[in-house]
Amino acid sequence: MTETLLGARKVRKEFPGVLANDDISISLQPGRILALLGENGAGKSTLVNILFGMYRPDEGHVIIKDEIVDLRGPDEAISRGIGMVHQHFQLVPPMRVVENIVLGAEPTRRGLVDLDEARTRVIALSERYGLEVDPDALVEDLPVGMQQRVEILKALYRDADVLILDEPTGVLTPQEADHLLGVLRELTETGLGIVFITHKLREVLAIADDIVVLRNGQVVGETRPSDTDESDLAEMMVGRNVMLQVEKSVSRPGDPVLEVKELEVKDDRGQIALDSLSFEVRAGEILGVAGVEGNGQRELVEAITGLRAPSVGVMKIEGEELTGESPRQITKKGVAHIPEDREKHGVVAIYSLAENTILNRYHRKPFSIRGILRRDVIRSHAQDVVDEFDVRTPSISVPASSLSGGNKQKLIVGREFSDDIKLLIAAQPTRGIDIGAIEFIHRRILEQRDKGAAVLLVSAELDEILGLSDRIAVLYDGKIMDVVDAQEANREQIGLLMAGITD
């Protein structure tokens, strides 16, 4: 009888300047689900990469089926029965499901891929585990939840006894997430072990058998769902007492600031991403846009901020036409934008913090005069932003790439909030950052609302939407399914709308 299906014993891994894993031991037993909980940078990814053979530990061992192993790469981990489902799927979109599943381990006949045999095996596999898929569908046509199923089948096809899932519910609606948790539970009944990485406390309590909490590269807690609760876990993750829910006063909305009428926007492939969308955001209120990612949120934000031209429709800010204006003119009208992808749009990684704080204002007085940058003004402005927005950094001269995600985000928020804002577009403002920074940014967004700004909050985190919004618009397939008052909204109702169901 196997005791430890997959484990780490006193694993230590150091990167230049960072001790990513310090004396970590975990053990996954057959038929159990082990949740690895921790903030970004706690060492979860490093640990998982060690377990999957991507990194070698500096000290300590990986254990597979009670045996100490020295993994030379992911290939060896796979051949020893470890399967991994990455947060970003590793699928080939224009290929069929069956081809994706067998890719790299294809059954062959006389040197050629035997697709019939592959199909038979895939069907048998999906029946055995109750994971129904259409083997001949193209992956690119499948919804995200289905693609994830293909990833899981891919691992099972390679005879995995252990599945490692990295933030698997991030891309799912609440209902899809619940469904996935059910599927995982069933999988364990065949003796499979699962390592489940997440930062969502509710899921951990719902699914895990064992919980390991990491912080700063160390195991800071081991517990079971029956012995703990959300605030307990959060405290372990962060190392101090945290407010999971920001306190907010009742909003006193004023006149409409942003008016959007009959907006139609096409995506990169020329497909209609937003279909005659109309809504308004008033001064002093937060309109939350809920929805599974990829339902038009990105196009909406890009249209309002001038990064993407709408094909039809009108956008106005305080009655002034916004449609067709350049990003710079829109910024000038008092629109601030926290971009969804902080690495791609938010910062220039090799620029110093000082340079990053002037990205959208370098051309204005007092930051430059007649085309010459004023370095002393820029530095003192940067220092103000860093101080006021609590960006933890040794100096404003270090490159932005040296900051953690949370601190980068605080830098961006600081930059965007240094002017008077009429309209704030906050897209996934707290994605992938630590709880402390989330709390901070939420408070700052509410502050802007209370100062009279109109806020459009786009988030895939339903908790964030429910916690901050005054009204909630649910976006599905480029349309607003409904706009509900946040006070009366509940998780189930919003979840159904996110799936496109309106009784």
Partner 1 sequence: MSRSVFRIVAIPFMAVVFGVLIGALLIVSQGGSPAEAYKALLVGGLGDSDAVLRTLQKATPLIFGGLAVAFAFKAGMFNIGGQGQLLVGAVFAAGVGFGIDGLPVLIHLPAALIVGAVAGALWGGIAGTLKATTGAHEVIVTIMLNFVAGNLTDWLAANPWKDNSGSNIVARTPLVENSATIPTIGAVPVGFLLAVAVSVACWLVLERTSYGFEVRSVGHNRHAAQYSGMKVGWIMSSTMAVSGMLAGLGGAVESLGVDGRFEAGVNVGLGFEGITIALLARANPLGVIPAALLVGLMEAGAARMQYKSDVAPELIDVIQALILFFVAAPIIIRWLLRMRHDNSEQLQLGAGWGKS
CB 193 within 8 A of CB 26: no
276 binds partner 1 (CB under 8 A): no
Total residues at the site for partner 1 (CB under 8 A)?
A: 34
- Give the shortest CB-17-to-partner 1 separation in angstroms: 6
256 scored as a contact of partner 1 (CB under 8 A): no
How many angstroms separate the CA atoms of 426 and 183, rounded?
34
Residue 112 touches partner 1, criterion: CB under 8 A: no
| Site for partner 1, residues 129 to 168, rule: CB under 8 A | none
Q: Under rule CB under 8 A, which residues in 51-110 are in contact with partner 1?
A: none
CA distances, 393 to each of 167, 168, 285, 352, 399 (Å): 28, 32, 33, 11, 10
By DSSP bridging, strand 471-476 and strand 286-290 are: parallel
CB of 38 to partner 1, least distance (A): 22
Residue closer to partner 1 by CB (options 358, 423) is 358
How far is residue 322's CA from residue 304's CA, in Å, rounded to a whole number?
8
99 versus 355: smaller Cβ distance to partner 1:
355
Decide if residue 402 touches partner 1 (CB under 8 A): yes
- Can you list the positions of beta strands (E) in 283-350? 286-290, 312-317, 320-321, 335-338
Nearer to partner 1, 112 or 372 (CB): 372
- Neighbouring residues of 204: CB distance < 8 A, sequence distance ≥ 6: 35, 37, 196, 198, 211, 225, 233
8 Å CB contact between 273 and 313? no
Q: Which residues between 280 and 319 bind partner 1 (CB under 8 A)? A: 305, 307
CA angle 409, 248, 283 (to 5 degrees): 80
The correct pick among 351, 379, 422, 467 for binding partner 1 (CB under 8 A) is 351
501 binds partner 1 (CB under 8 A): no
List binders of partner 1 among 364-383 (CB under 8 A): 367-368, 371-373, 375
Phi, psi of 484 (to 5 degrees): -120, 155
Query: Nearer Cβ to partner 1, position 118 or 347?
Result: 347
Q: Give the contact letters, 319-338, x = binds to partner 1 (CB under 8 A), - = no.
A: -------xxx--x-----x-
Residue from 19, 69, 359, 377 binding partner 1 (CB under 8 A): 359
Q: Residue 123, class by beta-carbon neighbours within 10 Å (0-12 exposed, 13-18 middle, 19+ buried)?
A: middle
Residue 471 CB partners (closer than 8 Å, separation 6+): 285, 286, 287, 288, 483, 484, 485, 486
Name the site residues for partner 1 (rule: CB under 8 A).
Answer: 16-17, 305, 307, 326-328, 331, 337, 339, 341, 344-351, 355, 358-360, 362-363, 367-368, 371-373, 375, 399, 401-402
